Structure 1
Amino acid sequence: MLKNKVFLTQTDTTIGFVSQNAERLTEIKERPPYKHYIKAVNSLGTLKSFVRIPAAHRNRVRRAAKTTFILPNGHSYRVVRERHHLLLLNRLTWAYTTSANLSGQPYDEDFAKEAADVVITPLYNKSEASKIYRVNNHTLKRIR
């Protein structure tokens, strides 16, 4: 039942939509369907079930906070450690996460609350977005 819901919640970095249904998020945000979403996971064990982390970057991924990594399979992952956001992720184990706005537009609280199936309060002010790194077997490149 939770798998098809779109949640509006305070994520570890900003106010965002969280769901296991990427198609619903694409429809809500009016975003091109070929773009990937960041997959937020509740633990390193869950991350290991999706992808193999290159040995050169395992420590970096394990210790990073509020950081997204684009791994060699081309998908983005972030291990969440923030307590409030982790309450939801522990029930889902993983979820796609994205900002709560139309693609390319600023945050609009009315739109976000109308588009979400479930609103999880409290919603704080936006903070800065996560850092994004593209990791390869040997290289590391900062994207954002």
Structure 2
Amino acid sequence: MVELKSSARLSSLSLEMSVILAQTDTTVGFLSQDAKKLYAIKSRPTTKPFIKVYKDFRSFLQDANRVMKNKKNLVRRSKKTTFIINNFSFRVAQPTINSQILRDTPWFYSTSANKSNEKFNRDFCESKADIIIENLNGLVEKSSSTLIKINKKKMRKLR
């Protein structure tokens, strides 16, 4: 189900500025290509960056990103895992919901759908989102992704 607040059709320009509420591969999340909107919604300090979620490994590479040769298979095959390389956090995750919007967009900034340091509140989330995408299971808060910091020689699990 896709719910829009306006009757206008989506254009690529409006999608770049929209905030989407959707079930991600891990939990309910806000997705957007505009980090400023997400900072405003979450009341989050701008020094704390968002995770960048790519729809596939090819999109990750096309965005001029690189991974150490010995870690490529780890990143490509990982499930529900966020990686940090040189203070850049990212995740490669296929959309869990069959949505044309999510399939057509190569990447989104992602954050959990709640106020900072609070639990999921559907009313708050619906009031802040421009587009709501959900399937028959609805929006369910689940555990967050595993967080791994990697560099050339070692990996460290942070969460």
TM-score, length basis structure 2? 0.84
Q: How far did 1:105 drift? A: 1.1
| Aligned residue runs from structure 1 range 47-62, under 5 A | 47-50=60-63, 51-62=65-76
Query: What secondary structure sits across from 2:97 in the alignment?
Result: helix
Rg comparison, structure with higher value: 2
- Change in Cα spacing, 1:135 to 1:88, as seen in structure 2 (3 Å) is farther
2:85 aligns with one of 71, 74, 85: 71
2:151 aligns with one of 114, 130, 136: 136
Q: How far did 1:86 drift? A: 7.0
2:116 matched residue in structure 1: 103
Query: What secondary structure sits across from 1:126 in the alignment?
Result: coil
Report the count of equivalent residues: 143
Structure 1 residue runs without a partner (length 5+): none
| Aligned residue runs from structure 1 range 1-144, under 5 A | 1-50=14-63, 51-72=65-86, 74-84=87-97, 87-122=100-135, 123-144=138-159
Aligned residue type for 1:8: L
Q: How far did 1:59 drift? A: 1.2
Deviates more, 1:124-133 or 1:10-19: 124-133
Does the aligned pair in 1 maintain the 2:113–2:125 contact within 8 Å? yes
TM-score, length basis structure 1? 0.93
Query: What secondary structure sits across from 1:84 in the alignment?
Result: coil
- Change in Cα spacing, 1:130 to 1:86, as seen in structure 2 (3 Å) is farther
Deviates more, 1:114-123 or 1:87-96: 87-96
Query: What secondary structure sits across from 1:3 in the alignment?
Result: helix
CA separation in 2, counterparts of 1:114 and 1:40?
23
Q: How far did 1:88 drift? A: 3.6
Determine which structure has the larger helix proportion and give its number: 1
CA separation in 2, counterparts of 1:34 and 1:83?
29
Aligned residue type for 1:105: E
Does the aligned pair in 1 maintain the 2:22–2:139 contact within 8 Å? no
> Which deviations, in whole Å up to 9, do the C-alpha atoms of 1:19-65 show, x marking residues without a partner?
00000000001001111101000111111133110112111111101
Query: What secondary structure sits across from 1:8 in the alignment?
Result: strand
**Percent sequence identity over matched residues?**
35
